Structure formats: C-alpha cells, structure tokens
Structure 1
Amino acid sequence: MTSGRALLGVDLLIGIDDLASPGTGRRCRQLITELEEAGLGSAAGATRHQLLVDPRIPYTSHNSSACIAWRSMAADPEAVVPAVVEIAASFLERVCPPAADPGLAVAVLPDLPEGSGRRERLVEFGRRAKREVLVTATARTLAAATGVHLSGHGGTQDGVLGALAAVGLHLSGGDGLFLFMPGIREISGDMTAGRLLDLVSIDQVRDHQRQEPAAGELIELGDWVRPVLLDGRAVLLLEPPVVDPDGRRRWRTVPRSVVKNY
C-alpha cells in the first residue's frame, strides 16, 4: 500500500492510550510539541482509533487510542527511538491522572515492510482490539516478536493494549480519523477544493461515490475538518453535491457523526 503525500516520509509510529481528560486530541498536540521542541522531527498527523467498548474493559472515556505518524528525518530512525520513548514516557507520567493506565508503543516503519509478517500481525492485533477483549500479555508478546517498543506508564499499564492497537490500525491504512494534521485547525468556512489542497496535505476530497469537486468548486467546511485514513491516504469525506439550477455543484463535509465512525 502506497501512502499519499499526507504521510510521505513517515518513519515512526507512536501509539498512545488512556490519556483521559482533556482529551486525546489535545494531549496528542501537546506531546507533538514536546517532541518537536526536542528536535526529534515533526508530525505528519495523528489518528484516533476506536477500540471495543465493553463492560469488561476498563477505560477512562471512550476507549479510543491514538497514533502519531512521525517524520524523524534521521538517516537511521531506530537511533531516534530512545529519545522519543524518554520524552513520551515522561509526558504520559506527568499529564495522566492517577486513575489512568497509560501505554506507549513506538514502531520503526522501515522495520515493518509489507509481506514481512510483522506488519500483518500488528494490523490483525489492532483489528482484534476493535472486536475482542484482549490481555496485556498478548500485546507484550507481539511487541517483542515484531520489534516494537511497548511500555506502560502508570496504573495497571493496561494502556499498552490500546497503544499497540493504535499502531496496528494506523498500519492497516483504513481506520481512524485525523485528530491532527498541520494546518487543519486553521481552515473553516467556505473554500474552493483547490485552495484547500494547497493549504493542507489532504490527499483526496470526495464523496462516498468517489466523486471529487473540481478545483474551483466551493466546499462548505464548517468549523470541524477531520480527514479519515483510507487506503493509506488522508481523505476528506463530502456529502454528494447539490446541483444549482445553473448547473453549479455545491459541496459540504459529512457530519461529525459519520466521521467518528471511522
């Protein structure tokens, strides 16, 4: 699977889980800032992944986890991992409340080529976490077998499950919405498709029938723009266009309720 421009150059995936209040998106942005200030690279984006909601699973809010797609810009991204782990671990231990069970996973993408078996096992683990109650021992065994760093940083450390699942689901290329993407929070209102694609690294803007607006056609973005991860690409989903009497098409993004199903 070939990623689009949104995830071009990503060489690390950083999975985090059980961040609690004030929300996964804000915590992701805070961690991204700390990693960038440390000179460790930059974030291409961060995706939210919904896991199984079940009474047998303890979770702080909605049982969702997140994966930061990181560009280390290092000749050997493996060499950056210890520093990333140190900063991310310290962040989790500092910001998570006592009731949380935060977990951290860091995967080096060049070590997980398609067809190696390691990537596929991680993807399957992520998919299982959406439908099954799993145990931490399974996550730790898989992380050791696939060369992924996995650690708990408080409480029961059950967050290692969600952290590793987030990495696997992001690797699948077909799960989650983008909580963060450079510039995504600065766009709102009405904008032409061409202007939108100039401002942010969204790969595609389309409806469910794969119809795409022309560059000069207006899109009603509203105040909450969140692409989803589909086919390894950042895709902004639109409702089917409304055609005016003069033949002009008008577009708008799908409701939040639809986006949050990804």
Structure 2
Amino acid sequence: MFQFNPSKGMLALAAMNLITGTTANLKTCASSSGFSCQSSSTTPTCCFNYPGGAFLQTQFWDTDPVTGPSNSWTIHGLWPDNCDGTYEANCDSSRAYTNITEILQAQDRSDLVSYMDKYWVDINGDNESFWEHEWGKHGTCINTIEPSCYTGYESQEEVGDYFQKTVDLFKGLDTYKALAAAGITPSNSKTYTAGAIKAALAKVHDGAEVYISCSSGKLNQVWYFFNVQGNIIDGKYEAVDSLTSSACSKSGIKYVPKN
C-alpha cells in the first residue's frame, strides 16, 4: 500500500492517488465513479461519499500531559466533512458501539488494538472511550461503509474496517519524520514559521496544503484532507488542500518536545 521514497527519506503514500486495497467485503465500485466533493451529484451511494465527501486524517502532538512515543505524533481520527468545513456528527445511535476493543478482538484484530493503544491514545488515559467517541461521532456518518454496502455483511464489520483504514492512513503520513526532514524538530527554545511547517508536510501530502493548529503558540494538531473515489476503505484517495483556515501565528510557533 505504501512505498518508500528515498528522496524524502520516509514512508509516503505512493503518489497519494493509488487505490488502497483491503480485504473488506464491500460492494465493488466502478473505476469511473466520481471523486467526492468534485461531482455535482447529491445522491449518497455505496460508491459515492455524500454529504461527508472530504476526509480528514487528524493527528495530535500532546505534551501536557504527554501521549504516545516521543518521536511520533498520535492519531486523532478520520472525519467526514461536507466539503465546506461543516460536518455531520453522531449519525446513527444504533451503531454507536461502546465495546470497540471487544469488536476488534472478535475480528482477529488484536494487533490493531495493540497499535492503537500505542498511537491512538486518549489524553486522560481512557483509550476505549476515545475510540468509542471517534466511531460514534464520525464513523457512523460515513455512508459508504453502512451495513447495506457490504456483501454478506457480518455484524459490526464496518467498525474494524474504519479503524484499520485510519491506522493505515496514519502510517503513511509520518508527521514527525516529515518535519524532521525539513529541520523542524522539537525544541524548548527554537521557533518556526507556519509556512515552513506547512511546506514540510505538503511533501508527504502530494503537495496539498495541510491544516495546522496551535495552542498557546505551540503546534499541537495537523489535519490532512482527501477526496475519495469509491468507498473509503478500498477507494482511491486524492490529497486536497485544507478546507479550514489555521489560527496559528505566521511565525514564532513552538514545537516543544514530549518530556
């Protein structure tokens, strides 16, 4: 799914436009189906994401308290956006499951759970509740992974697919390495410009502009935006510019270490 690019010195999504194959039992989508947010269609189908057609792979840099490894950002989630910065939330209360760990383990995804426990972590130490929140608020609003879109659907199958896809995207968007390759490393004394940070991250996002967030002048979030052709699990992802304007200062941004 990913290829190593020696010129960038890190894992990158191969051209960010490859079809990312999985073993999901979703209905087959024609390669001619349009990209989300780029079609005039307003009809959601199992092969067309609507209204949440833009997808954000979002990441945290938590330092107070610290979460995750000192040399890696952590996962926030995978969110559908209505192509304009607005979004639907908590779309299906009947599928707002409160046992994500059990669901994943029952699907023989224990390795996925272990990875999530390291890289998809809650600031208060309650990973399970965090995962439940992300699935209930965002996952249930993705129309191309509704149960009716599966062939031979097995209960809660879409839950495992959603978390696996989010992790796969995260693995191909190594924010820490992308910044380090541009000389942007955690420091208690150095500061950086927003332009330099965005330029470094655009190199792993097919040149598309990312969204950065700051808290008290410190870099703490990155959002990568995509449009998708087909369903979100094994569809074709295309990197697109951020739909959200950053409130970070243009200069003097701190990127403090995880002490």
Indicate whether the TM-score tops 0.5. Answer: no
Choose between structure 1 and 2: higher strand proportion.
Answer: 1
Higher helix share: 1
TM-score, with structure 1 as normaliser:
0.30
